[in-house]
Amino acid sequence: MSLSIARVVSSLAKVGDLYRAQGLPPEPSGLAFPVAMVKPMLDRLAEDLTEDRLRAILRTVVGDPVRLDGPADGWRASGYLKVLHVLPATPLVGWTSLISAVLVKSRSLVKLSRREPYYTAAFLNLLQEADTELRNWIEIVDSAEDGMNDADAVVAYGRDATIERLRGMVKGETPFFAYGSRFSVAIVNQNAPEDAAARLATDVVRLYQSGCLSPAICLTDLPITDRLAEALDAETKRFPARPTLGEATAVRREREAALFDPNRSALGPDDLSWTIIQSRSPQFEAIGAFNLLQVCPLEARTVIPWQKVQAIAVEGIAPDWLAGLSPSRICRAGEMQMPGLDWPENGRSLVRDLIRWTAVER
């Protein structure tokens, strides 16, 4: 790429400046995730869109960022020429995926989710204003198939079935970086502060439990169900979305199953705006259901497939067994879906994945 890494970093930092000054474009009607819900997530991400933070991220990955311009100290770092991004409906991913590719000087082909064109378009508009040439590195494609024809690497997000379908479309030995189905867990333990339930409710309702950082399960031995119910009721009044027909069917199925299971009970309003399922053991088919939180005792940790857990929120005393787990994030409730730019999704760095190394010995 002809642009220097110094210019790339400066232009991405300008995107951050423009976002902080201008915010997002006017909100269209029918937006899947309202601006008031998503803006705190983007505000956190924009904290990393400064020259100092972007250089720090690059130093962690490549040492000296000038290695992305050419050989330095015997090494050259290169991004893939063209990266296809198959994006999900969750709004933050378009920003993080594209910023990672731009940061390593890769061109991008983008297949947008039909449910979420707005937030990714907002990033592209800011990039256009910051640096037209850099914006021209990114092209929207109509289908993943179209992008596969030109891509040197593929970054894909979605449910496991979607990932497997896309994997089957990848040509030859084209690198395929997949981000499939994952979920997150909250632990509310002894000495948890009074506002823990309210902050956890924010995590539940933010993105309506559709993201990998959404807390599908709360492990606790404390009597917090009533506080959670009150907090979820308040939070869903702030964001009064209703489930789609398919989402409503899934929620009703879980509620009805709980009625006939002596080890489970269901709590929630008739409009299905939120649901709490109390059970001795989590039901994994319920993960991702609209604003549905499963509350289980701490002993249920033994049946959780922790290799599929993306983040863990901890309120109160962190249990000793937490030290043996390796989620991508450990944070407080209320912050689960507000990661920084360089958070290691699925335990790895996309910036690092998109770099190839050359040893220059002459």
User: CA distances (Å), 189 to each of 13, 194, 308, in order?
Assistant: 40, 12, 22
pLDDT for res 362: 76
pLDDT for res 1: 55
Give the Cα separation of 175 and 83 in Å (integer): 10
pLDDT for res 190: 87
Structural domains of the chain sorted by starting position, each given as residue range(s) with its CATH number in brackets:
5-181+342-359 (3.40.605.10), 183-331 (3.40.309.10)
Q: Nearest to residue 294, comparing CAs of 261, 323, 317?
A: 261
pTM: 0.94
pLDDT per position in the chain (362 positions), as tens? 579 999 999 999 999 999 999 999 999 998 999 999 999 999 999 999 999 999 999 999 999 999 999 999 999 999 999 999 999 999 999 999 999 999 999 999 999 998 889 999 999 999 999 999 999 999 999 999 999 989 999 999 999 999 999 999 998 899 999 999 999 999 999 899 999 999 999 999 999 999 999 999 999 999 999 999 999 999 999 999 889 999 999 999 999 999 999 999 999 999 999 999 999 999 999 999 999 999 999 999 999 999 999 999 999 999 999 999 999 999 999 999 999 999 999 999 999 999 999 999 97
**CA quadruple 218, 266, 287, 143: dihedral, nearest 10:** -130
Which own/partner contact pairs does 336-339 have at CB distance under 8 Å and 24+ positions apart? 336/184, 336/186, 336/203, 336/213, 336/214, 336/215, 336/311, 337/41, 337/92, 337/203, 337/206, 337/207, 337/211, 337/213, 337/214, 338/40, 338/41, 338/44, 339/44, 339/45, 339/92, 339/213
The order of strands in the sheet holding 138-140 is 138-140, 107-111, 82-86, 153-157, 176-179
* Residue given tokens 């705190």 in the structure block: 40
Helices 118-130 and 92-103, axial angle in degrees (round to 10): 40
* Residue given tokens 């037209």 in the structure block: 132
